[in-house]
Amino acid sequence: MQMDKTFTNPPTLSTPTGYTHVVTIAGGGKLIYISGQVSLDKSGTLVGKGDFAAQARQVHDNLVAALAAAGAKPADVVKINSYVVNYTPEHRAVLREIRGPMFGKDKPPASTLVGVQALALDDFMLEVEAIAAIS
């Protein structure tokens, strides 16, 4: 059975940049929930201590690997949550630069960006979790 994903930006809401306000899923298929990804490489070593951009690249590489393990790709992501320690507007610019090519401009996922005080380990600057839908 075909799973239909509809990406909607209602005219009654502001026009978003880099995300979609509403994503609906109908029909059969599979939902994939990806746990929060952090900047650890395959061996469990921290990548980019003190370097937000390096951590963001590793986090998103990990997200792509997790999606692939479930048979999905970035285009299948319908919701993404990003948690940034000591958030500043510069963090958002870095995330847009990394996420833009992953998700494209036509159908980016619904998205939430939250500034937090801390994550699971002191050196983590970013954690990203996602929900994907595949047919």
The domain locations on the chain are: 31-132
What is 72-123 written as a DSSP string? --GGGEEEEEEEEET--HHHHHHHHHHHHHHHTTTSPPEEEEEEES--SSTT
Give the pLDDT band of residue 24 (cuts 50, 70, 90): confident
Helices 89-103 + 52-69 axis angle, to 10: 30
**pTM of the complete model:** 0.88
Q: Specify the DSSP class assigned to residue 16.
A: P
Q: Assign 127 to helix, strand or coil.
A: strand
pLDDT tens string 85-99: 999 999 999 999 999
Q: Give the list of residues 6+ apart from residue 45 with CB closer than 8 angstroms, or none.
A: none
CATH architecture classification, 31-132: 2-Layer Sandwich (3.30)
Residue matched to tokens 């469990």: 44
Question: What pLDDT sits at residue 2?
Answer: 77
Question: What pLDDT sits at residue 13?
Answer: 85
Is the pLDDT confidence value at 129 over 70? yes
Question: What pLDDT sits at residue 1?
Answer: 64
The alpha carbon torsion through 116, 120, 123, 124 (nearest 10 deg) reads: -60
